[in-house]
Amino acid sequence: MYTVIVSLLIVIGLFFCSISVFFFCRTNHCACTRAGTCNNPVNCYWLGAIISALISLAFCCLALNTQLGTLLWLVLMGSCFLGAFISQKRNKKSSLKKTTTINALLISEIN
């Protein structure tokens, strides 16, 4: 029974880690693409990212003791950020390929 509760707390912590990383990525996207025009959503996204990270840390520390819970939280956050980074790189690469083919079509139509 104890292992089920610990596992459930860890899964809930992972869920809040992913929410935190999502809000962080939304903040960066909004701040980089529309700088100065979306200050209020940026503040809301930052607040959501911080609160979700703290809730995740609390669940990880409840599942394990404080030291192991903090280490687990760092691993979970690192994994979520790595997944977001890899996803962003793949999306950028695929959009670059689409842009290149569209540009090639436009150049051949002009000629």
* Residue carrying the six token digits 């903040």: 27
Answer whether residue 101 is part of any domain: no
Rounded to two decimals, the pTM is: 0.71
Q: What's the domain count of the chain?
A: 1
- Report yes or no on 33 lying in a domain: yes
Asked if residue 34 is part of any domain, the answer here is: yes
Residue 99: inside a domain, yes or no? no
CB 49 within 8 A of CB 16: no
Provide the residue range defining the domain that includes 81. 2-86
Domain assignment of residue 100, yes or no: no
Token readout for 66 is: 């404080």
- Greater pLDDT, 101 or 34: 34
The confidence score (pLDDT) of residue 37 equals: 67
**Is the Cβ–Cβ distance between 20 and 56 less than 8 Å?**
yes
* pLDDT attached to residue 22: 87
Q: Does residue 93 belong to any structural domain of this protein?
A: no
Domain assignment present for residue 81? The answer is yes
For the stretch 72-101, pLDDT in tens is 888 888 888 888 888 777 776 666 565 555
Question: Is-contact 73 60, C-beta < 8 A?
Answer: yes
Q: What spatial distance separates the first Cα and last Cα of the chain, rounded to whole Å?
A: 72
- How many other C-beta atoms are found inside a 10 Å radius of the C-beta of residue 25? 18
**Structural domain includes residue 9:** yes
pLDDT at 16: 92
Q: Give the span between the Cα atoms of 12 and 18, in whole angstroms.
A: 10
Residue 38 pLDDT exceeds 70: no
Predicted confidence at residue 89, as pLDDT, reads: 76
Output the pLDDT for position 47: 87
